Structure 1
Amino acid sequence: MERCRERGLLETLSHLEVVLRNVLAEQLAARHAAAGRAGTWLDDPADELDQRARADIREARRRVVAKGKQPADGQTISELSFGFWRFLLARRYNTVLWPDLAGGFPYAPDRARTTVDGPFTRLHLFRNRLAHHERIWTEPLTERYGDILNLLRYVDPRIAQWVGQECRVPLLLSSCPVARPRP
C-alpha cells in the first residue's frame, strides 16, 4: 500500500511540477522581454539570480548537451529541478522576481509570496522524501494533496479540476486498510 500511495503521489506531484515550471518560466521570459534584455532569462544578464541558481542552469545545460541535444531554453528548463523552481520563490527574491512571478498565480487569494511559497516549500520537502523512498507513513498526506490542488488552483482552477479528476490519491487514501497515525 505504501508503494501504491507513493506512485499516486509522485504522479500527481509530476503534474504540479510541470505546471509550476512552465508558469514560472513563462513569467520570467515575459519579464526578460519587457526589460528588453539580450539572450534569455536563463542567461541572467542582469545578474539577479543567486550563485546557486546560475550553477543549476549551467548544470542543466550540461545535461542537455550530454544527452546529445541543443541546450535550447525548453530543454534546459525541463532539466531544472523542482528545488530550482521552489527557490525562485524564496524571500531573497521578494522584491526582485516575485512581483513578476506573482502574475503566474492569478487565482491565488492574494499576491503575497508566502501564499505560494508555503505550500511549494512543504511539497518540495515532501517530494524529496518520496523521491528518496523515505517513509511517508507519518506525513499528513491529505494536507499535502491539498497543497498540490491549491497551487494548481492558483494557476488555473481548470487544471486543478482535471488533476483532481484524474488523480488516484483520494481513492488510495480512503482505501488504506490501516488507520494512519495522526501527527
Structure 2
Amino acid sequence: MPISQHTNYEEVPNALLVAFDRTITPARLHPYMFAAGFKKQRAIHLYIWNTMMGQSFHFPMQAFEVAYRNSIAAVFLDKYGDKWWRESVASKFLDERSVQELSFARRRLKQRGIKPNCDEMVAGLSFGFWAAMMAPRYKPAVWSSHLIQAFPNMPANLDHKGIYDRVNRILDLRNRIFHQEPLLGYNLSGLYSELMQMMKWICPETQAWVKSTCSVPRFIRLKP
C-alpha cells in the first residue's frame, strides 16, 4: 500500500496493526491514538496523513528555504562584500554563536575537499542559522535599512518583527516535518499561507510557480 495511493484510508489488516506495534511502537503512535479517541484504525490513518503532509510540505519548504537564504545572503554580500562569511568580517556584525557556525560550516566544506566561497557557504549553513539572521539584535546594523532589499514585495505596514516571527514559525514547522514529528493540532492552512506570503514578498514569480505545483492544500483536505 504505497502512501501516495493510500488516500481513501482503507482498513488496515490486523497483521499490519500488530507489525506497527513492533516497527512504529506504541509510544510513537500515542499522539495519534489520543487524537483518534484510541481507535487504532483511525490512528493509523492519521499517522499516514501526517506522513503525506510532511511529503507535500517538502517542496514549498525547500523552495522557500533556498529563496530566503539567498535573499538574506544578497544583503550581506552588498553590505559587507563577497567575504562576509569569513570570521574576521562576520565578527563585526554577527554574534559569537553565529560566527562559530560559519567557522564550522567552513571546516565541513574543507573536510569534503571543497574550497569555501560565498555560494558554498550560503548553501552549507542551516536554515536555523538563516532564521537567526532576522533576530532583533541585527535590526540596527542591517535590517533598519535593508529589509526591503531582502523582501522587495513586502507590505508597507509590515515591520522587521513581523518577518522574524513568521520565519520562526516556518522554521518550527520545518523542524517538525524533518524530524517526523506529529503535525496534529497545527494550523497547517495558516502556516502554508504564511509560507506562500513570504515567498511572494521575496519573488512573486517563484511563489506562483511553487503554488501551482504544490499539493499541500489537497492533503490538508484529506485529513481523516
Larger % of helix: which? Answer: 2
Query: Is contact 1:28-1:100 (8 Å) kept?
Result: no
**Alpha-carbon RMSD:** 1.5
Residue equivalent to 1:90? 135
Q: How many residues align?
A: 172
Residues 101-159 of structure 1 show CA distances to partners (whole Å, capped at 9, x for unaligned) of: 43110110036212311210101111111111111111111111111101111112111
| Alignment of 1:118 onto 2:165 | yes
Distance in structure 2 (CA, Å) of the matches to 1:24 and 1:101: 9
Residue equivalent to 2:9? none
Residue 153 of structure 2: which of 103, 107, 112 is its match?
A: 107
Residue 155 of structure 1: which of 187, 194, 202 is its match?
A: 202
Unaligned runs of 5+ in 2: 1-48
| Alignment of 1:21 onto 2:66 | no
| Alignment of 1:4 onto 2:49 | no
One-letter amino acid of the counterpart of residue 136, structure 2: R
Residue equivalent to 1:140? 187
One-letter amino acid of the counterpart of residue 49, structure 1: L
CA deviation after TM superposition for structure 1 residue 7, in Å: 1.1
- Larger CA Rg, structure 1 vs 2: 2
Q: Identity, % of aligned pairs?
A: 25
Distance in structure 1 (CA, Å) of the matches to 2:188 and 2:176: 12
Residue equivalent to 2:109? 64
Unaligned runs of 5+ in 1: 34-38, 179-183
Residues 148-174 of structure 1 show CA distances to partners (whole Å, capped at 9, x for unaligned) of: 101111112111111100111111112
Residue equivalent to 2:83? 40
One-letter amino acid of the counterpart of residue 85, structure 2: L
One-letter amino acid of the counterpart of residue 146, structure 2: D
One-letter amino acid of the counterpart of residue 75, structure 2: Q
CA deviation after TM superposition for structure 1 residue 175, in Å: 2.6
CA deviation after TM superposition for structure 1 residue 10, in Å: 2.1
Which consecutive aligned stretches of 4+ in structure 1 deviate over 6 angstroms post-superposition? none
| TM-score normalised to structure 1 length | 0.88
Distance in structure 1 (CA, Å) of the matches to 2:59 and 2:97: 27
